[in-house]
Structure formats: structure tokens, C-alpha cells
Structure 1
Amino acid sequence: MRDGFPFKSTACATAAACLLLGSQVPAGAKAGTPLRYVALGDSYTSAPYVSRIRPGSPLTCRRSALNYPGRIARKLRPRSFTDMSCSGASLRHLTAPQGANPPQLSALRPNTTLVTLTLAGNDIGFDRWKTCALVSLIDSEGAPCRRKLRREEGGDPFARAVARTGPRFGAALRRIRERSPLAEVYVLGYPRLVPPTGGGCYPRVPLARGDVGMVRNAQRRLNAMLAYQARVNGAVFVDMSRPGHDMCQRDDRKRWIEPFFPARRGAPLHPNARGAAAMARAVLRAMWFSADV
């Protein structure tokens, strides 16, 4: 498979031949269509502090040159590449500016052939984990954050937020399709923040034991919603929830997400360089490319 030309001809003689070719063909794409890549998303895409800021990007977006879109572009060498990701972005920033960053969908063109997207974490309130860390100091063995959120918001705010956000995310995928009908769209889920079982790793990650399950469930709901909306709206979901790479991992070679007090380059609760590389590899594998990034 030649770099820069990921899309194969749809004219396969047999289904088996298509499978062997590893075809991931956008609707209407033709053999040899130049790869034109647009990356959208929040800080899990921009990967703040993983590397130097991408030249020409807004400083407030903290868009690392070695984030996962940058690694994909370096591998595939597209005809054009635009990274619109920005720290703090939510779904509304697809159609509205975010400071100096224009609306992210403004980068899409009718001839765009690849779109990647990690978004909606801010829409469901990922920033609440900072509050959870603070209240864990008063009851590290209990569930102080769960009690606080339910007292202040009358129930599970994450379940309600995911339910509200799902239709909006689906509508965003349809807007992407309208603007770029040739594009293959890849929706990346969020890597695990905490281990799949157990009470976490307090105080290394300052989440009270009883609150770790709430974090786990909120992220599970979010990723399930993203997977569903991708499936029903013609996108490819890329699952990043493989266990063994969460904040609690002490081995730098295994950890993809930095804890509240980072040990490697990267923002707290965000992908480090290994995490960004893993996300790039996952997309490349979904496209049937070799994943040496």
C-alpha cells in the first residue's frame, strides 16, 4: 500500500479479493484519489505538552506536532493535511470559533477523503474529575465525589449528559458527511483513565476508591455512545479502551494516560506520547495500513 493513496478500487472481482486488498473506501471515492486529511477534536486529539506546538496553530489549542493526527499524516503523507483540534473543544466548536481557532468544520472540503475525530468528553463534563480529586482528600476510602455530584445535580450527571450528547454527536457526523461526502470518517474512543476493575490507585491517582467506579462507568457510557453513533451514521469507530494503559500504570512503557501529576510529557488525565502513538496506530490498523509510527 503506497503512502498517500489509501483507497483501493471498488471494482474487486470477488468479495475475497476485496478482503485481501483491505479496502476502506469512502462513498464515491475512486482508485488513486489523493488523500486529503482533516483532523477534528478536543485535547485528546491535540495532545497538549506531548511535543512542541504545531507551527501556525493557535497557542491556546496546545496542538502538539506529535499528536495522533500528526503521526498519521507523517505516515500517510497526504496531499493535504489540516489539524483543527483544540484543547477544551466541545461539539459546539465544530460550528463556532474557539478563540483564534476557526469553526473546526470550516476545514472540510468536498474533496476531503479522510476525517478523524475524538470529541464529546467536554460535553459530558470530563473536567469534573478535578473536583473529584479535591474532595477525595476528605474521604479517600469512600465516594465523596459521587455524593457531591448527586446532591448538587440530583442523580448521575454523566448518564444524563451522555444521553443528551448522543443525538448531537450523531448530527455532527451527518454534517461532516454533508460537507465531505467522499470522506472515510474515523471516530476514536477515549483511552481508559482507570483500570477496568478495582478501586484505583490512591494516592498516585487521587480518586477515592468509591469514586473510581463512577469514572469507569461514565467513560464506558461515553465510548458506547460514540460507537453507536459512528455505526448508525456511517463512520468507523476505533476502540481505544484496551486495558493495561490507564493512569494507574507505573510502567512508563505501558501507560498511555498521564495521572494528575504527570511523570512524562503530557497534560494531566491526557495522552502522553505513547498514548498518541497508540491512537495513531489504531487508526492506521483500521485503514489496513502498517502501524509503525
Structure 2
Amino acid sequence: MLAYRPTVLAAAATVLALVAFPGSSGATIGKSPKHYVALGDSYTSGPVIPVQRIDPIGCERSTNNYPALLARTLHIRDYTDVSCSGAKTVNMTAPQVVPLLGVNPPQFDALRPDTDLVTLTISGDDIGFTEIIFTCARLSVTDPFGNPCRREATAGGGDFYAQRIAAAAPKVARVLAGIHERSPRATVLLVGYLRILPPAVGCYPVFPAARGDVPYLDGLEQQLNTMLADQAFSHGAAFVDSYQGSLGHDVCKLPGQKWVEGTAPTSPAAPVHPNAIGMQQVAAFARETLANLDEAKAVG
């Protein structure tokens, strides 16, 4: 995924009460949601994190991903998780063929008129997250101290990875509109991606990126999260800022400190994906956002 502009998520900051920030604990949830639907990609589903569901097995849904943890924390009895590894925005309305002869139905099929909470993490696969990782890893072999990935991405004068992020924005907007259309009473949380890399100095080969590409890739992830925050602000959703909250917990940290695994995981999780601790933290950020929303409603 992958740049944080100095204007820290300006759109999200405009609606401070709607965003979860670490250290703002103490707020409580008022009325617990009655029907919760979790949508999204592998940063929602939690591949490899025990225990893996089999409905279908190719979606790699964990019973301990952030939606499951949030549902348990809020004591939500009517809870549906349709997230799936590899899901793109198109898979909200179209079925997704997954490994082992499985098919995940359109994720929007789970939405109902009485759904009152929806969480969503999406667009990493729209921008080709896996391709970016492997491309940058391949280029780092011949230029480990330079910035070959950035040079290739900007060779044409622009930045084609940044352009992919911009192209994903209207797709995310359509997804949010579709949620509101199908579940008009729902509180919608658009959940950002956990920080993958530190701001400057990497940890080759834990994450195989050339030295000069570490800040570039981190910058791309910031751009992605900024885009999501902008879309949340513009389309009636609250943004959960997992990126800012995970500073100091990137892939370069020790086991027990990192919330996202490197290319060779040291705990049960997919490479370059959240581990169990990361999922716990995202669930906490989402819960904090809901608490802030309740407080804002009470004040307003």
C-alpha cells in the first residue's frame, strides 16, 4: 500500500470527534449496535491468524480479526463478516473467486436495511499492493542503497503508484455510497491500514526494500490512508486512523512490538499483514471511534 504529507490527514482532522486517536481512551459506547457487517480485504480478514474459518477457506477469515474482536467487545449478537483476502472494491457488488474452488458472494449481499454498523477496509488490492511489494523487492537486489523503486515509478514524469491511489478514490466513494443506499441507518467506519514501515530507516531483509525506498514506500502508504480519510469525510463515514496509531509498531520492530509482520512472519500471520496484536489494536481504534461518535452526538 503505502506518504504522509505534513498536513496530517487534513480532512479527518476537520472532524476530530469522528476519528480514533491513541491515548484518547475513557469514552464509552452508548447503545450497542444490533446488526454489524464487516466488509473488506485481507487487512480485515486476517489470513493465517488462528482460528481460520472455512466459509470459504480461500477468504482466509480469522475468528480473531478486528471485526470479530470488535463484535465481542461490543456484545453484538447479530454479526456478519464477509471480508475476503484479495478483495477489491468491485467485489462489494460482484462475486470473488478464491483459492480451493471457493466463491465469496458479493460482500454487499450481507447488508440489510436494519444494519446499524458497518466497518470497511478496502483499496489495497485495487492499487496492486502485492505487486508493489514484489516489484520493490526485486529492484532492491541490484541497488540496495538507492531508491530504484521510486525511480522506476517516476520515470515517466509522474508517479504511477500515486496515480493508482488517486484512481482508487472514486471507487471507494462508490462503495461508501452503496453502503448508505443499502443500510441507510448504519454508522460506517472506514478503517485505515496499519503502518508497515518506519518513516526513514528500514530493516532489510525483514522487509526487502532499498534504503532510499523506505521513506518512499511509507509515503505511499500515507497517501493511501489520506485518500481514505478524504473519502470518509466526503461520504458520510468516520475514518479510523490505524496508520497514525501504529507509529513504532512497524515490521522492523521485535516480536511482541510489531503489529504487522515482515516478509518472513515471526507469528501466525500472512507476510506483510497484521498479526494478532495488530488486529487487537485496530479493534481498539475502531471502538474508540465509535465512542467518540457517541460523545459527539451527546454534545450536539
Superposition TM-score, scaled by structure 2 size: 0.82
User: 1:215 and 1:21, CA in 2 relative to 1: closer, same or farther beyond 3 A?
Assistant: closer
Cα separation, 2, equivalents of 1:34 and 1:270: 28
The answer on 1:203 being equivalent to 2:202 is no
Counterpart of 2:140 in structure 1: which amino acid?
Answer: S
Contact (CA 8 Å) 2:127, 2:165: kept in 1 or not? yes
How much does 1:36 deviate?
A: 0.2
Corresponding residue for 1:217? 219
Cα separation, 1, equivalents of 2:76 and 2:239: 21
Corresponding residue for 2:49? 50
How much does 1:49 deviate?
A: 0.4
Cα separation, 1, equivalents of 2:45 and 2:61: 4
1:210-258 C-alpha deviation (Å, 9 max, x unpaired) = 11122111111110010011011111100011210111112x2220000
Q: Which has the larger radius of gyration?
A: 1
The answer on 1:256 being equivalent to 2:259 is yes
Q: Secondary structure at the match of 2:39?
A: strand
Equivalent residue for 1:141, pick from 129, 142, 145: 145
Counterpart of 1:161 in structure 2: which amino acid?
Answer: R
Counterpart of 1:38 in structure 2: which amino acid?
Answer: V
Corresponding residue for 1:178? 181
Corresponding residue for 1:121? 124
Counterpart of 2:177 in structure 1: which amino acid?
Answer: R
How much does 1:184 deviate?
A: 0.3
How much does 1:146 deviate?
A: 2.1
Contact (CA 8 Å) 2:40, 2:83: kept in 1 or not? yes
How much does 1:150 deviate?
A: 3.7
Displaced runs of 4 or more, over 4 A: 20-24
1:79-122 C-alpha deviation (Å, 9 max, x unpaired) = 31110100001101111000210001110000001000000011
Cα separation, 2, equivalents of 1:39 and 1:33: 16
Unaligned runs of 5+ residues in structure 2 are: 1-25, 98-102, 293-300
Cα separation, 2, equivalents of 1:157 and 1:35: 42
Contact (CA 8 Å) 2:32, 2:75: kept in 1 or not? no
Equivalent residue for 1:104, pick from 107, 118, 131: 107
Superposition TM-score, scaled by structure 1 size: 0.84
Cα separation, 1, equivalents of 2:38 and 2:265: 26
User: 1:254 and 1:59, CA in 2 relative to 1: closer, same or farther beyond 3 A?
Assistant: same
Counterpart of 2:145 in structure 1: which amino acid?
Answer: E
Cα separation, 1, equivalents of 2:184 and 2:28: 21
Corresponding residue for 1:85? 83
User: 1:69 and 1:34, CA in 2 relative to 1: closer, same or farther beyond 3 A?
Assistant: closer
Q: Relative contact order (C-alpha < 8 Å, sep 6+): which is higher? A: 2
Aligned residues: 259
How much does 1:188 deviate?
A: 0.7
Q: Secondary structure at the match of 2:87?
A: coil
Unaligned runs of 5+ residues in structure 1 are: 1-19, 25-31
Cα separation, 2, equivalents of 1:51 and 1:66: 7
Cα separation, 1, equivalents of 2:203 and 2:32: 49
User: 1:159 and 1:192, CA in 2 relative to 1: closer, same or farther beyond 3 A?
Assistant: same
Counterpart of 1:169 in structure 2: which amino acid?
Answer: V
Indicate the RMSD between aligned Cα atoms, in angstroms: 1.9
Corresponding residue for 1:27? none
Corresponding residue for 1:71? 69
Q: Secondary structure at the match of 2:125?
A: helix
Corresponding residue for 1:245? 249
Q: Secondary structure at the match of 1:110?
A: coil
1:155-180 C-alpha deviation (Å, 9 max, x unpaired) = 31121111111111111101100000
Counterpart of 2:73 in structure 1: which amino acid?
Answer: K
How much does 1:22 deviate?
A: 5.9
The answer on 1:286 being equivalent to 2:286 is no
User: 1:247 and 1:23, CA in 2 relative to 1: closer, same or farther beyond 3 A?
Assistant: closer
1:41-94 C-alpha deviation (Å, 9 max, x unpaired) = 00000010011212x521111111110011111222223111010000110111
Corresponding residue for 1:234? 236
| Equivalent residue runs for 1:19-58 within 5 Å | 35-54=34-53, 56-58=54-56
